[in-house]
């Protein structure tokens, strides 16, 4: 029985697409311990260093002293606690939306929102070709028809919207694309979507805490306050923890509470997770300098890579993809970087299109200039050997 699975795994190994788990034996700082060695971490989404912020840790502990650990029921039964509502008020306020709703993670939020907002064959979901896997899975689970448009190509989006009639239309894009780090042209996307009566949903997983002057994400970056119908933000990236929230109008949130299965049929997030998220948002509100520090680190890193002859783009986000192309080379590059004290995972298909395997470097506000210089030295050495 198991041979068929083994055979598939062997096949993946042959094609350099096999994946295995790397273990971190320390906290998730700018440096981590892997295999007994301290290395610079450059592929985490802990963009602002909030995962280990003393205030965040303290908030989680204190909340447990008051409310205990688990919520042990779904929100609609008896799992809706003071802290969940406190978070939702905070999150709505942070994003200047009428309401926000907690989800257990971004993956569930995307799957749930897409499949419940568009839940009939008369509906249409239109998705950017490079959208995150969880959005694609949302399309699969939805009863609606779906169409894709070429990455960031608003003209193509318009063609698709124009060509198809539907009861409800939903246009979904990543605010910041997770593997390329580029930003969706949201002003135009919102404009075209309005023209054809489509709702707009933005996945702000890599935008929240990163773009916009105070880290409020796509709506701030594009000055589209109140114009984006549905925003999805994970708490597992710049906000340093776990969980997610969706925000938008009162009606949309009320609809999700009533219709969205991944909201309804799951246990509410545990107390410390939610309390930590409240504190993370407070820290970001009080110190937007975190966002600036992250930006400075990205600029410094990109300039460094360019100075050693690597052709990389600064997209204005925390993600700097170094495209290698070939899977095997990409793995070799990542392994050699590790030997030199820098950990960047090799990202390969199906996460990215074939022939575009890459080192997806991410910076953190807590990286020091010295970390960045050491990383650039390592990239220089490895690039000479591998490319």
Q: Are 275 and 63 in contact (CB under 8 A)?
A: yes
Residues 6+ apart with CB under 8 A from 27: 51, 52
CB-nearer residue toward ligand PLP: 42 or 386: 42
What is the distance between the alpha carbons of residues 47 and 256, in angstroms, rounded to a whole number?
Answer: 29
Considering beta carbons, is residue 158 or 204 the nearer one to ligand PLP? 204
Q: 206 an active-site residue?
A: yes
3-state helix, strand and coil shares in percent for the chain, rounded to the nearest 5:
45, 15, 40
Rounded to the nearest whole angstrom, what is the least distance from the CB of residue 293 to ligand PLP in the complex?
22
DSSP tag of 95: T
Q: Count how many Cα atoms sit within 13 Å of the Cα of residue 116 in the half-sphere of its side chain.
A: 20
Please pick, among 206, 218, 357, 367, the residue that the annotation labels catalytic. 206
Q: Which is nearer to ligand PLP, 105 or 344 (CB)?
A: 105
If the CB atoms of residues 111 and 118 are measured against ligand PLP, the closer one turns out to be 111
Q: Least CB distance from residue 269 to ligand PLP, whole Å? A: 11
- Name every residue whose Cβ is closer than 8 Å to that of residue 380 and which is 6 or more positions away in sequence: 308
Catalytic residue among 44, 127, 134, 178: 178
- The distance of closest approach from Cβ of residue 65 to ligand PLP in the complex, given in angstroms and rounded to an integer, is 27
Q: What is the DSSP string of 146-176?
A: EEEE-TT-HHHHHHHHHH---SSEEEEEESB
Our CB check for ligand PLP shows the closer of 103 and 379 to be: 103
Asked about 178 being catalytic, the answer comes back as yes
Instruction: State the Cα–Cα distance between residues 43 and 157, nearest whole angstrom.
Output: 31
101 Cβ neighbours under 8 A, 6+ residues apart: 88, 245, 246, 247, 253, 256, 257, 263
Helix, strand, or coil (residue 266): coil
Residue nearest to ligand PLP (CB): 106
Point out the catalytic residue in the list 53, 132, 237, 367: 237
- The distance of closest approach from Cβ of residue 183 to ligand PLP in the complex, given in angstroms and rounded to an integer, is 12
Residue 328 is a catalytic residue: no
We find the least distance from the C-beta atom of residue 217 to ligand PLP, in angstroms, to be 12
Q: Which residues bind ligand PLP (CB under 6 A)?
A: 105-107, 110, 132, 134, 174, 178, 203, 205-206, 234, 236, 244
Neighbours of 231 (CB within 10 A): 26
Looking at the Cβ atoms of 237 and 295, the one nearer to ligand PLP is 237
Minimal distance in Å, beta carbon 8 to ligand PLP?
Answer: 25
Which sequence positions are flagged as catalytic?
178, 206, 237
């Amino acid at each position: 029985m198991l041979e068929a699975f083994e055979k598939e795994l062997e096949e993946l190994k042959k094609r350099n697409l096999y994946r295995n788990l790397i273990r971190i034996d320390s906290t998730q700082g700018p440096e981590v311990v892997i295999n007994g060695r301290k290395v610079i971490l450059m592929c985490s989404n802990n963009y602002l260093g909030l995962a280990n912020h003393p205030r965040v840790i303290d908030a989680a502990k204190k909340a447990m002293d008051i409310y205990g650990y688990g919520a042990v029921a779904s929100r609609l039964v008896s799992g809706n606690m003071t802290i969940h509502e406190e978070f939702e008020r905070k999150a709505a306020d942070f994003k200047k939306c009428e309401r926000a709703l907690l989800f257990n993670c971004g993956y569930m939020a995307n799957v749930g929102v897409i499949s419940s907002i568009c839940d009939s064959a008369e509906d249409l979901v239109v998705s950017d070709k490079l959208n995150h896997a969880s959005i694609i899975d949302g399309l699969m689970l939805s009863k609606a028809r779906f169409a894709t448009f070429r990455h960031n190509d608003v003209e193509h989006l318009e063609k698709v919207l124009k060509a198809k009639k539907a009861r409800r239309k939903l246009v979904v894009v990543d605010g910041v694309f997770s593997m390329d780090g580029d930003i969706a042209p949201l002003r135009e996307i919102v404009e075209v979507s309005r023209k054809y009566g489509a709702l707009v949903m933005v996945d702000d997983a890599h935008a929240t805490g990163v773009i916009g002057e105070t880290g409020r994400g796509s709506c701030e970056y594009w000055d589209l306050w109140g114009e984006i119908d549905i925003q999805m933000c994970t708490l597992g990236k710049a906000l340093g923890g776990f969980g997610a929230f969706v925000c938008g109008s009162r009606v949309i949130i009320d609809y999700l509470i009533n219709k969205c299965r991944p909201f309804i049929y799951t246990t509410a997030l545990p107390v410390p997770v939610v309390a930590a998220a409240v504190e993370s948002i407070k820290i970001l509100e009080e110190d937007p300098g975190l966002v600036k520090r992250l930006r400075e680190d990205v600029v410094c890193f990109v300039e460094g890579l360019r100075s050693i002859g690597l052709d990389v783009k600064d997209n204005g986000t925390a993600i700097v993809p170094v495209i290698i192309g070939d899977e095997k080379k990409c793995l070799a590059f990542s392994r050699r970087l590790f030997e030199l004290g820098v950990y960047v995972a090799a990202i390969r298909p199906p996460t990215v299109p074939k022939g575009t395997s890459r080192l997806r470097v991410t910076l953190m506000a807590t990286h020091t200039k010295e970390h960045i210089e050491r990383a650039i030295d390592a990239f220089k050495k490895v690039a000479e050997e591998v490319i």
